[in-house]
Amino acid sequence: MIDGGMQEQAAAYALGALDPEHAREFEVSLRIDPALRALVRELRSVTEALAGTAPALEPSAAVKARLL
């Protein structure tokens, strides 16, 4: 069973939100825990599916001007 803390880390890892040091530490756990690997695969598939459903938005002229 994966505890709540590891589930949170798995979610952050799947989103690419862990800093490099924490990601490396988490990857050690991934190598030894098949259930954790399965959870990360599932979370990644969900995030990819959600990303594909977001509509593309055109930035306002003001935003474009500030960025450029």
Per-residue pLDDT, 66: 87
Q: Around 12, how many Cα atoms within 13 Å sit in the side-chain half-sphere? A: 16
More confident residue, 52 or 27: 27
User: What is the tens place of the pLDDT at every residue in 43-67?
Assistant: 999 988 887 787 878 888 898 888 8
pTM for the predicted model, two decimal places: 0.71
